[in-house]
Chains A and B, each alone.
Chain A
Amino acid sequence: MKEKEIEKIIKYSLFKVSKKEKQELKKDFEKILNYVEKLKKANVKDTPPTFYPIPLKNVFRKDEKKKIDVEMAKKLIEMAPEKKEMFFKVKKVL
């Protein structure tokens, strides 16, 4: 696997890693990718995928108005490292 490809995956995964860590992750990644190659031997012709192990059908809940739990909202905001009134505070986006 090329250096650039590993860097691309690390970028997708949104983490900063050191050079040493990147080399170790690359080595492990190649080994695991090599292991999963065996799936290519399986005959999956005409086989549908299983996304959920139990057959599920969509069920709608009743269209009822639910009370807003202000206390819960406060608790959730409280958890954030940076906040302002009832909002999460984030770094500059643009």
Chain B
Amino acid sequence: MIDLKILSYKKLREMLEKKEIKCQELVEDIFERIEKEDKKIKSFLTLTFELAFEKAKKIDEMIFQKRKLKSLAGFPLAVKDNILIENVKCTAGSKILENYIAPFDATCIKKLKDEDVLIIGKTNLDEFAMGSSTENSAFFPTRNPHDLERVPGGSSGGSAAAVAAGFVLGALGSDTGGSIRQPAAFCGVCGLKPTYGAVSRYGLIAFASSLDQIGPIAKNVEDCELIFEVICGKDEMDSTSFFEKKIFQKKEKLKIGIPKEYFGEGLDKRIKDKIFDVLKKIEQEKFEVLEISLPHTEYCLACYFLVSRCEAASNLARYDGIRYSKLKEDSKDIFDFYTKIRGRGFGKEVKRRIMLGNFALSEGYYEGYYLLAQKVRTLISNDFKKAFEKVDLIFTPTTPTLPFKIGEKIKDPLSMYLADIFTVSPNLAGLPALSLPCTKIDNLPVGLQIIGPHFSEYLIFETAKKIEKMF
């Protein structure tokens, strides 16, 4: 049986091209492994064997006919269940969409299908991508492959766990406040939140439209980059999409900024010490490390709460039970129908967020909450602008704690929200950020977050690859 845990796509492709393995066998192996091992981890909500097997047959034929293969031919990929794949169920982890069959492909899926990836299945998530542990899924929680008693992070916890468990080489996630990077850090894999607009959001079930981005999760930086290269770019179906490949001048020494505000109260001391060890090591390898300040950091999480909840309240107004849901309700009129369907179809966390959003947008509160948050967002963005005048990239820990135990934070929403404290600011400022596994504590992975200026994805990849080699 092929062990995807120890393979990169480059190696797998070599094996396919040299006919050491048939693509159809690869697919069978993958599904056998999932069948056996995902019972414990529970990373998948839906499996798409036929989709993968049909593609594998085509690839085997192309290899037999010695035709040139597409850039990601035979790449086993999982997809977060809030990204549409034509004729495949898409639940967004919610009861309200339990039986929803996607009528079309998201743009990123269309692009990946064109490059002949093998779509293995749809992965579990917190309902509507709202959460940091995948415990808010309406179906079941996912477990961390490094320790089954712990959460894989969230909301793309199913995607990160499927990569870490070796079921796939890569996965798609979505990131509104850390939902790719935080689970990547907890599961010991790489995850990139691209620059806002770099990847089309057409076909992504919206949570907060000025923050959401689709991005790749993979075991290594190179595979993350391969997926990103395919999915980025302008799309006429998403008017906010735009990508410009920035070429950065080669420098003798890259300047790395360490924001002092990210190393204070709330950060597990063991993580702090480990990250400083990493920084010491990279200082010896042509990096100049300097302390910087992002003075409005203390407002990031509160600002994110308001912006994301207001946008969510507006986006989730479309779930009225008329067009998508298959839930049935006896009701006397349309208002009664809406309230019953939404009351039953949404989980508690989704309700909390819609309520806060509606409150902050309502008459008398709009200026003091929503508008104020958008102004503070400008201050946060300006902090980063100023910082990038002095440094090329910014490094922080991805998470303040190690993966926590299942059930540990679910009853206290505020403590759960704090899990995103280091990851929300790049979303507010629209910046690209990657989480790279860099070390372990008690056998649990620790992530290093690399934040860059807008459209600096390739500088981030290049730097992350150098660091990846050191550890």
Contact = CB atoms under 8 A, between A and B. Distances in A.
Given A13-B355, A81-B327, A90 B322 contact: yes
Interface string B409-422: 00001100000000
Given A10-B355, A53-B381, A32 B305 contact: yes
B419 to A, nearest CB: 14
A56 B239 CA distance: 9
Given A25-B355, A88-B323, A92-B333, A48 B103 contact: no
A14 B350 CA distance: 13
Interface of B: 100-101, 103-104, 195-197, 210-211, 236, 239-240, 242, 296, 298-299, 301-303, 305-306, 313, 317, 320-328, 331-340, 342-344, 346, 348, 351-352, 354-356, 358-359, 362, 368-369, 371-379, 381, 413-414, 427-431, 454
Given A42-B379, A81-B326, A15 B302 contact: no
B346 A15 contact: yes
Which 4 pairs, one residue from A and one from B, show the smallest C-beta to C-beta distance?
A: A53-B430, A49-B374, A16-B343, A44-B375
Contact of A47 (B101, B336, B379): B379
B135 to A, nearest CB: 15
B100 A79 contact: yes
Contacts of A88: 322-323
Contacts of B197: 54
Contacts of A53: 196, 210-211, 377, 381, 427-431
Given A9-B358, A48-B378, A40 B333 contact: no
A39 B379 contact: no
Contact of B372 (A44, A48, A90): A44
Given A14-B339, A15-B342, A80 B351 contact: no
A35 B331 CA distance: 38
Given A44-B379, A80-B324, A91-B337, 13 more contacts: A13-B313, A14-B338, A21-B348, A25-B352, A35-B302, A36-B305, A42-B296, A42-B375, A52-B240, A53-B211, A54-B196, A91-B334, A93-B333
Given A14-B338, A14-B342, A72 B104 contact: yes
A11 to B, nearest CB: 8
A81 B454 contact: no
Contact of B373 (A25, A28, A39): A39
Given A47-B379, A54-B430, A29 B356 contact: yes
Interface in A11-55: 12-17, 21, 24-25, 28-29, 31-33, 35-36, 38-40, 42, 44, 47-54
Interface in A56-94: 56, 59, 61, 72, 75-76, 79-82, 88, 90-93
B339 A16 contact: yes
B412 to A, nearest CB: 9
B353 to A, nearest CB: 9
Nearest to A71: B103
A75 B359 CA distance: 36
Interface residues of A, number: 46
Given A10-B355, A38-B302, A59-B239, A49 B323 contact: no
Contacts of B354: 13, 15
Contacts of A35: 301-302, 305, 414
B314 to A, nearest CB: 11
A3 to B, nearest CB: 14
Contacts of B101: 79
Contacts of A52: 196, 210, 240, 430
23 contacts: A9-B358, A12-B358, A14-B317, A16-B340, A16-B342, A25-B351, A25-B355, A28-B352, A29-B352, A31-B413, A32-B305, A35-B302, A35-B414, A36-B302, A36-B306, A39-B302, A44-B379, A50-B377, A51-B210, A53-B196, A53-B210, A53-B429, A81-B327
A39 B306 contact: yes
A1 to B, nearest CB: 9
B299 A39 contact: yes
B239 A38 contact: no
Contact of B381 (A36, A50, A72, A80): A50
A54 B378 contact: no
B359 A9 contact: yes
A85 to B, nearest CB: 16
Most buried by A among B195, B302, B328, B454: B302
Given A50-B381, A90-B322, A24 B348 contact: yes
Contacts of B325: 81
A13 B351 contact: yes
B369 A36 contact: yes
A57 B453 CA distance: 20
Nearest to B328: A81
Most buried by A among B298, B342, B343, B414: B343
Contacts of B346: 15
A9 B296 CA distance: 30
Nearest to A34: B414
B69 to A, nearest CB: 31
B343 A17 contact: yes
A91 B258 CA distance: 58
Contacts of B104: 72
